Structure 1
Amino acid sequence: MRSAICVFIVLNTLFTGVQSRAQESSVAKDREVEELRQTVRDLAARVAALEEQLHKQTTVAVPALSTTLNDGTPTVASSSSLSAVKESEVSKGVAAPAESSNPAVAKSSSAAPAESQVAAVVPAQLPGGATLNYYFDGYYGYDFNHPTGRVQYLRAYDVLSNAFSINQAGLVLAMDPNVEEGRRYGVRLDLQFGQATETLQGNPANEPRPEIYRNIFQAYGTYVFPVGKGLTVDVGKWSSSMGIEGNYTKDQMNYTRSFFFNYLPFYHMGVRANYKLNDKVAVNYWLVNGTQQSEPTNSFKDELFGLALQPKKNVSWTINYYLGQDHPDVTQNPQGCGTAPIQPGLCLQPITPAPDGKQHIFDTYATWNVTPKLTLAGEGDYVISRLWKNAAPGQSSAPSHVIGGAAYARYQWTPKMALAGRTEYLSDRGGLFSGTTQALKEFTGTYEYKVADGLLTRLEYRRDWTNRPFFLTNKPGVLSQNQDTLTVGLVWWYGGKQGAW
């Protein structure tokens, strides 16, 4: 009996302990459930706040992010754009999600908001297929001659030594024709500011009113006529295609420009036509006011006849002949025009007799993409210019000549790094280019590093030399036969236009 009582006491004690522990466990579980419910309520409140902020954000952002199809139908921003806005809000601290363990995912998550925000603030695409494009080109140059006034002779853009300078800042609006989509017209507008404007645009020596066109580098309309394979006609002001080099540094092999870029025409105003005979041959014809003449200084209209050849896919060859007469037949009237209702700058008087000599430019250049990494190019030019067609009393009809050429090479070492070189010879007989008869030569070596898409830097050494003292030094009145410079250039661009500008 005593043993039975002992067993009962032990079992009762064990049962009571288990029951009490079960009760304690139940209380703990109830507490955890309540905490979880509170957490869910807090999260729901945060989600509601996020949705409200997202709604406010997309109300503003969606129109900026929306695009238009080629047929003019508007489309709403994609869900990826909206998610980018949401990620942007999250990154500001509304809610901090755990970081992805995948670097690629993390990179794309951070890049998407940045790109969408830039596109919303700085648009690159416009309705109808037009693009907006932005450009900045700056440099620091150093001339080892330490020239007086820090002036570097015969340079197109890098004209100053020991100075941080803006080569150019620009805005380009472009809409190319697209016959396949039913749009035969196009338009191009390039606005330009900085040293390039001073270099490229006209001056009173060859334009009556250069100031009113000063910042318009290009402005022309295009129409493709349904003739054969398509006759493309441009009307307006455009950058000259004589010479292999162009205005935008990002599309050139070197940072500085050649002597021939600085000498040959920069722009023309008039009408031009291009017709592609086949996949290998296209012909060009221009009828323009003159060289560097938005407004003409005489009644003669200059002409260009050109061929664009592509004998192979990796070879292109351009041949141009230009006939011009750029000597003015009027000049500003120093006494004014009295009270006559004349536009400012157009109070003119005739020059009698007016020079009637012609200018002939023979220009050719070719590019050969030897391999995907190696590109070679060459240019040859012959220019002859006369002040008078025939010898006038007391005048000479002897011509002045510019003869020479340039050779180029570029090697794309890595996707980010490239090396380029240029060598050039220009015989300036009569001083058409430099103002004095001399034989000019130059060599340029360029190292390029592409920081990112739309951002590149160039480090460049250049040596100019000639057969007579010509370049400035730090001693007044003392000239040097050579000019050595070191230049660091920075080029930034952004926009919807692909390829060369």
Structure 2
Amino acid sequence: MAFQHGQAADVWQYGGFLDLAYELNYNFPENHQWRSKETSPRTNELAPNMGLAYLRKDPARESRWGMELAFQGGYDTDALVPQPNASGVKPIEGADTLRYLARANVSYLAPVGHGLTISAGLIKGMKTYEEFYAKYNINYTRAYLTDYNPNFMIGVGASSEITKSFELGLYIVNEYQHLSHANDLPSYVAKMEWRAGDHVTLYQNLYYGPDQRDTSLRFWRIFSDSTVEWRTPEWKIALSYDVGSEEMSDAPTNARAAWMGAALFTQRHLAGPWSVGIRPEFYWDPQGRMTERDQLLWANSTTLEYKRHFGQQLAIVRFEYRYDHSSGAQGGFFHHGSALGVPKIVPSQHLTILGLVLAFDSA
């Protein structure tokens, strides 16, 4: 991924991309909104979901200091600013401006073992299989578990290759949502990547910290993200599973909330620039802690991709069909029509999506 990984010491790299889509929602909601979705949230209109520009220098043994600076904008940044809620969560000061920052950090490669990379600032979130940015994924739309994962972190930490096939990172961060503020205590993140074989890689992320006004240990959130990937030149197959839990200080009986989700990512290279990917998924949020609604979501996305490099330029065209279903007391999707000014809600939706990503990288 050009946005994250460098190739040479003391070399500044720069680039960016533009991500546009038209998502035809056959429910035809008047508000054009995709209910319970944080990325690619607008339907039935041409949507500039993301634009990004970056400048980066990676640390290396020959030049140990590094930095990243990246700016972003588009509909995919809207949900990065949290809404105030009863548990004490509110946006940090300047969140409406800070959502346009994708990276802002410095790093140093210390001569410890195989190399200890220390980073501080706004950095990439958990080491997940599917990215926040559509450019790097198999499908155009992201899975629900990706939407509600910590995709960005503000903090300080270090990562190291313990062996050539095992990497571990530990970080102290502000909160689960990087632009939210409920208290002044830090949270903690651990990342692990293990290349278990020629074709198999395991990723594991853990989060533990206080995300409510009451910082008593009993109310701390615990969250796990796990992925196993099998990859060959022709196939990519990965299974991701997320589970989280916290006792709710704002609930009358301090009930415990839990949520979980899973997605199976598959892609087959067909020929030349053509590939096809299929992703079934589910997301269960019975207390509405993540999606703000008591619901069980499940979906399936099928994507035909055309990807081609033109020198330093890259063009990705994705044609995608997606079906979503939501059950539960507060589940559902927006539909054409309303009653007393309230949009109509139905249990399912069908979408046909055309996504276009145009990118440039100096590396």
Q: How does 1:133-212 map to 2 (within 5 A)?
A: 133-179=15-61, 182-201=62-81, 205-212=90-97
Partner of 1:491: 357
Distance apart, 1:295 and its partner CA: 7.1
Letter matched to residue 409 of structure 1? T
Q: How does 1:458-497 map to 2 (within 5 A)?
A: 458-468=318-328, 470-477=332-339, 478-497=344-363
Describe the SS at the equivalent of 2:254.
Answer: coil
* Alpha-carbon displacement from aligned partner over 1:379-409 (angstroms, at most 9, x marks no partner): 0111002223xxx9x8322111112211010
- TM-score for both structures, normalised by structure 2: 0.88
Task: Select 1:228's aligned residue among 91, 109, 113.
Answer: 113
Mapped partners of 1:476, 1:149: distance in 2: 11
Describe the SS at the equivalent of 1:148.
Answer: coil
Q: How does 1:234-253 map to 2 (within 5 A)?
A: 234-241=119-126, 243-253=128-138
Contact (CA 8 Å) 1:462, 1:484: kept in 2 or not?
yes
Contact (CA 8 Å) 1:201, 1:217: kept in 2 or not?
no
Distance apart, 1:452 and its partner CA: 4.1
Describe the SS at the equivalent of 1:260.
Answer: helix
Distance apart, 1:256 and its partner CA: 0.4
Q: 1:224 to 1:376 in 2, by over 3 A?
A: same
Letter matched to residue 130 of structure 1? W
**RMSD after superposition:** 2.4
Q: 1:299 to 1:316 in 2, by over 3 A?
A: same
Letter matched to residue 235 of structure 2? L
Task: Select 1:310's aligned residue among 195, 218, 227.
Answer: 195
Q: Does 1:433 align with 2:278?
A: no
Partner of 2:87: none
Contact (CA 8 Å) 2:229, 2:238: kept in 1 or not?
yes
Distance apart, 1:296 and its partner CA: 4.4
Distance apart, 1:158 and its partner CA: 2.0
Mapped partners of 2:150, 2:288: distance in 1: 16
Mapped partners of 2:333, 2:197: distance in 1: 43
Describe the SS at the equivalent of 2:135.
Answer: helix
Partner of 1:71: none
Task: Select 2:224's aligned residue among 347, 353, 362.
Answer: 362
Distance apart, 1:376 and its partner CA: 0.4
Partner of 1:382: 243
- The structure with the largest helix share of the pair is 1
Q: How does 1:70-109 map to 2 (within 5 A)?
A: none
Q: How does 1:281-296 map to 2 (within 5 A)?
A: 281-294=166-179, 296=181
Partner of 2:102: 217
Partner of 1:275: 160
Mapped partners of 1:356, 1:328: distance in 2: 12
Distance apart, 1:203 and its partner CA: 5.6
Partner of 1:411: 268
Mapped partners of 2:28, 2:218: distance in 1: 42
Stretches of structure 1 lacking an aligned partner (at least 5 in a row): 1-124, 330-352
Q: 1:267 to 1:202 in 2, by over 3 A?
A: farther
Letter matched to residue 299 of structure 2? E
Describe the SS at the equivalent of 2:41.
Answer: coil
* Alpha-carbon displacement from aligned partner over 1:40-87 (angstroms, at most 9, x marks no partner): xxxxxxxxxxxxxxxxxxxxxxxxxxxxxxxxxxxxxxxxxxxxxxxx
- The structure with the largest strand share of the pair is 2
Q: How does 1:250-261 map to 2 (within 5 A)?
A: 250-261=135-146
Distance apart, 1:318 and its partner CA: 0.9
Size of the alignment, in residue pairs?
343
Distance apart, 1:494 and its partner CA: 0.5
Mapped partners of 1:373, 1:487: distance in 2: 24
Distance apart, 1:446 and its partner CA: 0.3
Task: Select 1:372's aligned residue among 228, 233, 251.
Answer: 233
Distance apart, 1:202 and its partner CA: 5.1
Larger radius of gyration: 1
Distance apart, 1:285 and its partner CA: 0.5
Distance apart, 1:457 and its partner CA: 0.5
Task: Select 1:265's aligned residue among 150, 170, 175.
Answer: 150
Mapped partners of 2:179, 2:347: distance in 1: 36
Q: 1:144 to 1:242 in 2, by over 3 A?
A: same
Mapped partners of 2:60, 2:10: distance in 1: 11
Contact (CA 8 Å) 2:81, 2:91: kept in 1 or not?
no
Q: How does 1:49-88 map to 2 (within 5 A)?
A: none
Contact (CA 8 Å) 1:400, 1:432: kept in 2 or not?
yes
Stretches of structure 2 lacking an aligned partner (at least 5 in a row): 1-6, 85-89
Describe the SS at the equivalent of 1:312.
Answer: coil
Partner of 2:257: 400
